[in-house]
Structure 1
Amino acid sequence: MDGAGAVLDMGDWRAQLPPESRERIVNKILETLLRHHPVSNREGLQELNKIALRIEGNFYAAAISQSDYLRKISLKMLTMETKAQNTRPYALPSNPAGNSCEDSAGKGKILKTPPSMASISNGLRHQKRARLPPSNQNETQNPVDYISQLPNDIIIHIFSFLTTKDAVKTSVLSKQWRSTWTSNQYMSFSLPPGSSSNLKSFIAFVDSVLLRCTAVQVKRFLFDAPCHAFMQSSLDTWLQFAIMHDVEEVSITPHYWRYNIYELPQILFLCTTLVSLCMSQCCFSVLSAVNWRSLKILRIEYAELYDEGMVRVFSGSPVLEFLELKSCRGVKHIMVESKSFRELVIDSHEFRPDQGLMLKIWAPHLLKLRLLGNSQGGEFSLDEVSSLTEAELNFDMESFALDKVKAHGDLVVGLLKRLHHVTKLVMGSWCLQVLSLMEAREVFLPSLQCRHLILLGTADHEGVPAIVKILESTRCLEKLFLQMTCTLNSAVEFNAEGVGRHNSAGEEFWNSAKWRIHQCLMHLKHVEIVDRGANLLLWESVLSLLKFLLQNALCLDKILINCTNSESSQAVEVAGILLSHPKCCPSTKVILRCPSQGCPSKHVR
């Protein structure tokens, strides 16, 4: 959304908020202040009222939506009300609604973790408290349960940020919350890996929570815990419960000790209310039809996939927008016809000789493609991606062997030919190193239409030939981004005099390449360098490029040097050198952004 749209939305939610709602919230804040700081005169009451108005006004001005406004207010009131509850155990509250179902973790089950609202109040505990008139009255003399007066929709919104275990703990805060947690629509059950001794009590706890649940709909169901054969039937039951309650978001992350793979129940593939699904280490065997008519987000990690099953998934997901496959194997074709399809991420794809060494992608409406991670032993083929506007080639195949140079070069060049029309292109270090190795073979890249180019970790001397190749092909380039990776420190001191000597060959190289990239120099406006602790040799190479661009880029507006290492002084030295270097465009700005400066950025003219 653009800036104008954002401003319009902010105005809309404030206009729709009735004034009496704000007055009611101010009164609630005032009541809370009075409880902790009782006053006995009119002046003290007026002072507290001003503080309540100021608190509400600050949150009203800072919030980006009505839900954000209510969340900030509720968290503030909780911080004022909540006291430390970290010393005594607590029992799972019974369901006052009259649910007669009981199990091994039912009424009176003692849990080991003490109650804590630190997850809610951490962000607010350091806020400066208002100075109030002194009072000799004890705040415990007249206890009032103000938290119970919060609207249920605010309480449920707070629950959406907590795990189910933490939501149960909140029952100690007020009488109302002892029953409200049972209507929580956001369920999140987790155990750290290796917690096998707690599995039985964990299963009993989940069963008890679901039996006490009074929510008509379960919007979110998250499971992240060790999973063994004896508890897979329980996980089936829990998923079925969520599906029968029209679940919208499901995340299943089982942890295994003996390489067991949880087989997803077939009923999950018929969940028509599902909007987001994330699965890790699950058996994705689709034996029947798929009806995911509402699914927009699908993430699959560490899974064995099959073309036939994936065809059913794609045909049964007509509004799919985002797909991510991480460390998956088996699938050879990704064919998505959905007109809603926006982004595809392939991360560390596993190629196997018996399952095919080619992954073909056919998605005519896809807008963004990202090929990431280590994908050894195979190739990517882009059969139909004509609607792409952004592409990222940040994957690597294997070590650079002489007998593989041509094959790797053909792969990268072939991908660039299919991506010639994208307006934003990201290239990782492996792909650029391949292009550098292909320099001697006189490989010609296709003409690229990208206006925003991002090169990751390739600015050293070995990566310079690849940079020239790319700049030569991107004739309409407007924005260039270079990320310098951390390398071994050099023993050579970094100073202006030393850089001048070491860089002479680099500057001559760029001047000789000027005729090859002259069209790029006509449109380039913005150059950004990110330093992640690079050594002297890497900075020398980058400095040569920056000097060349300063002196030859006709429309260059600014060079931004973003130094992420607060202990590095190289970026400051580079900015000083660029300050005295001749500029083709007198209005070009050099901006240094360094953590050690104590401010976001430092401008150098």
Structure 2
Amino acid sequence: MDRIELPRPSDDQDETRDHQNQCLVLLDQLPDAIILHIFSFLTTTESIKTSVLSKRWRSTWTSNPYITFSLPVDKRPKRNSKNFIHFTEAFIDTVLSFWTTIKVKRLLFDVPFHASMQSSIDRLLQFAVRHNFEELSMTLSSGRSSSWPLTVYVLPHFLFRCTTLVSFRVICCCFLMIGAVNWSSLKILRIEFADFDDDAMIRLLSGSPVLESLELKFCQGFKHIRVESRALKELVIDSHGTRSLILEIWAPYLLKLRLVGNSVGAGFKVHEASSLVEADLNFDLTYALDAFGRVRAHGDLVKGLLQRLHHVTKLVMGSWCLQVLSLMDTRELRLPSLECRHPTFLIAADHKGVPGLAKILESSPCLEKLFLQLTCKHSSSWSLQNLGRPNFDAEEFWNSPKRRIYRRLTHVKVVDPGANLLAWEPALSMLKFLLQNTPSLDEIAINSANSNPSKAIHPWVLLKVARIILSHARCSPSAKVILKYPSQGCPSKRARKS
């Protein structure tokens, strides 16, 4: 009878096996602190899979202080919602039955929400509260299919009395507060797509004495934000949604204020912000009223903000705010003296914001550095598209005898995210004027280094822009023009000529 000889492993196979065994030995020798740090980068499902690595890792995941359940958009349920609900509840049951961790550092829960999941998620949050968790991020968006009712998760009452919570980010949840809030350790609060009134706002702020950063995005229902705490340093209002109402703000100790996004309300009014250092006014009001009848109201709104924020040293002005200032009668456009040294302007691909921009510059005697952010889009606000100045001549405007000389301005930086040559026209006219009327100007930097290479403007177009600027007369003999561009497809990373 013939013998059958099995093939012997090759030297390469032996070497691979030895290498794998060595890796497993090294994994077994890792300190617990390193293993838990690795878990911080994994979802809970992924950390459970590490149990196959070795005996030591078989139960290590149960002491993982990072609980993460997040589904990618392409894996979210569309029709068969019952299976997903059972899967989610099974996940929560697994956490509650197997977890042995003493402390939960972070709970991240990002899934579509169904009404039947309320009690299960409540139990998971209760588990986290009992284990003194510090960070909570919840995104519980409603489903979109007909078999998935549009419901919103109601935050449980016990969560508002969690004294260990340090960071809380919540999207699409209901704030139904009963009694006082006690977030004595909370420092960061981010709320998106929520509806709560002034009483709820007062409870949130009064119950968070050490809160340092507050961001409200697509939130509505409240009309006032009053912050007496010295701890709050940053306030962000993104796309405020209370229609036809002005959001009023009192924050005497605030350092940074950002009013951004597309809001449907009547605007903003700052009553007190005497400690403010930075202000970002990059918002757009889009509620439906007669365009011609509200130009003055919009202009007065922006003027009022600048009067209250005249002392900030860093100011960002969006294209919409520049446009409404530009549309005002020059006799009414009287701005306070601004202490801003480093303003940033977002310029649309038209001249509608140029007069407003020039007026702000003229009102900024401390101007040292100027930042311009270009966009290839025209005016974003439909209500202002037909109110621009007909036949506006930017060259003639900037060369008007009324334009002042900026004696302290030393640096101008232009960030171009991929605009075409047409979008450069407003900035080009302004740069020519600054070259000719700024004796202390040291540098104009045109930066496209952050552009997406697939969408970036052609390098030769930017070179043409640089040549146009360089060919213009300069008041400062030391002024330089610097062009920066991604290395892909560009003959050189920097073109400089003094």
Q: Same fold (TM over 0.5)?
A: yes
Partner of 2:191: 300
- State the distance in 1 between where 2:371 and 2:343 align: 6
- Give the residue type in structure 2 aligned to 1:414: G
Name segments (4+ residues, structure 1) moved above 6 Å: none
Whether 1:160 and 2:40 are equivalent positions in the alignment is: yes
For structure 2, which runs of at least 5 residues remain unmatched after alignment? Answer: 1-10, 144-148, 379-391
Whether 1:348 and 2:239 are equivalent positions in the alignment is: yes
Partner of 1:214: 100
- State the distance in 2 between where 1:169 and 1:317 align: 38
Query: Does the aligned pair in 2 maintain the 1:592–1:602 contact within 8 Å?
Result: yes
Which secondary structure does the structure 1 equivalent of 2:248 belong to? strand
1:458/1:255 Cα in 2 relative to 1: closer, same or farther (>3 Å)?
closer
Partner of 1:524: 409
Which of residues 237, 240, 264 in structure 1 aligns to 2:123?
237
CA shift, 1:135, in A, is 7.7
- Listed as ranges, the matches of 1:566-585 within 5 Å are 566-567=457-458, 569-585=460-476
Deviates more, 1:242-251 or 1:523-532: 523-532
Whether 1:482 and 2:369 are equivalent positions in the alignment is: no
- State the distance in 1 between where 2:84 and 2:178 align: 34
Partner of 2:388: none
- Listed as ranges, the matches of 1:378-389 within 5 Å are 378-389=266-277
Partner of 1:61: none
Q: Deviations over 1:83-114 (max 9, x none)?
A: xxxxxxxxxxxxxxxxxxxxxxxxxxxxxxxx
- CA RMSD across the alignment: 2.2
- State the distance in 2 between where 1:418 and 1:577 align: 39
1:349/1:454 Cα in 2 relative to 1: closer, same or farther (>3 Å)?
same
How many equivalent pairs are there? 452
- Listed as ranges, the matches of 1:227-306 within 5 Å are 227-257=113-143, 258-306=149-197
Which secondary structure does the structure 1 equivalent of 2:140 belong to? strand
- Listed as ranges, the matches of 1:317-466 within 5 Å are 317-352=208-243, 357-398=245-286, 401-440=291-330, 442-458=332-348, 460-466=350-356
1:455/1:188 Cα in 2 relative to 1: closer, same or farther (>3 Å)?
same
TM norm structure 1: 0.71
CA shift, 1:180, in A, is 1.4
CA shift, 1:351, in A, is 1.4
Partner of 2:421: 536
Query: Does the aligned pair in 2 maintain the 1:439–1:465 contact within 8 Å?
Result: no
TM norm structure 2: 0.86
CA shift, 1:599, in A, is 6.2
1:288/1:476 Cα in 2 relative to 1: closer, same or farther (>3 Å)?
same
- State the distance in 2 between where 1:599 and 1:337 align: 53
Partner of 1:27: none
- State the distance in 1 between where 2:361 and 2:299 align: 17
Q: Deviations over 1:555-592 (max 9, x none)?
A: 11211111331535321101122233332222222110
CA shift, 1:600, in A, is 5.0
- Give the residue type in structure 2 aligned to 1:482: L
**Percent identical:** 57
- State the distance in 2 between where 1:260 and 1:344 align: 29
Query: Does the aligned pair in 1 maintain the 2:348–2:377 contact within 8 Å?
Result: no
Query: Does the aligned pair in 1 maintain the 2:419–2:457 contact within 8 Å?
Result: no
CA shift, 1:551, in A, is 2.0
- State the distance in 2 between where 1:275 and 1:141 align: 46
- State the distance in 2 between where 1:541 and 1:139 align: 63
Q: Deviations over 1:526-566 (max 9, x none)?
A: 11112233343332332222122122212112111113315
Partner of 2:207: 316
Whether 1:189 and 2:66 are equivalent positions in the alignment is: no
1:486/1:161 Cα in 2 relative to 1: closer, same or farther (>3 Å)?
same
- State the distance in 2 between where 1:570 and 1:379 align: 39
1:448/1:253 Cα in 2 relative to 1: closer, same or farther (>3 Å)?
same
Query: Does the aligned pair in 1 maintain the 2:225–2:250 contact within 8 Å?
Result: yes
Query: Does the aligned pair in 2 maintain the 1:529–1:561 contact within 8 Å?
Result: yes
- State the distance in 2 between where 1:604 and 1:171 align: 61
Which secondary structure does the structure 2 equivalent of 1:438 belong to? coil
Higher helix share: 1
- State the distance in 1 between where 2:150 and 2:303 align: 39
Partner of 1:147: 27
- Give the residue type in structure 2 aligned to 1:242: A
Query: Does the aligned pair in 1 maintain the 2:418–2:457 contact within 8 Å?
Result: no
- Give the residue type in structure 2 aligned to 1:153: A
- State the distance in 2 between where 1:461 and 1:380 align: 25
1:510/1:141 Cα in 2 relative to 1: closer, same or farther (>3 Å)?
closer
Which secondary structure does the structure 2 equivalent of 1:512 belong to? coil
1:205/1:599 Cα in 2 relative to 1: closer, same or farther (>3 Å)?
farther
- State the distance in 1 between where 2:38 and 2:415 align: 38
- State the distance in 2 between where 1:136 and 1:407 align: 78
1:140/1:580 Cα in 2 relative to 1: closer, same or farther (>3 Å)?
same
1:556/1:315 Cα in 2 relative to 1: closer, same or farther (>3 Å)?
same
Deviates more, 1:372-381 or 1:445-454: 372-381
- State the distance in 2 between where 1:272 and 1:482 align: 44
Query: Does the aligned pair in 1 maintain the 2:240–2:265 contact within 8 Å?
Result: no
CA shift, 1:486, in A, is 1.2
CA shift, 1:315, in A, is 1.2
Which secondary structure does the structure 1 equivalent of 2:399 belong to? helix
Query: Does the aligned pair in 2 maintain the 1:370–1:392 contact within 8 Å?
Result: yes
Query: Does the aligned pair in 2 maintain the 1:592–1:604 contact within 8 Å?
Result: no
For structure 1, which runs of at least 5 residues remain unmatched after alignment? Answer: 1-133, 489-503
- Give the residue type in structure 1 aligned to 2:142: Y
CA shift, 1:598, in A, is 6.7
Partner of 1:102: none
Whether 1:170 and 2:29 are equivalent positions in the alignment is: no
Q: Deviations over 1:53-104 (max 9, x none)?
A: xxxxxxxxxxxxxxxxxxxxxxxxxxxxxxxxxxxxxxxxxxxxxxxxxxxx
CA shift, 1:317, in A, is 0.9
Query: Does the aligned pair in 2 maintain the 1:432–1:458 contact within 8 Å?
Result: no
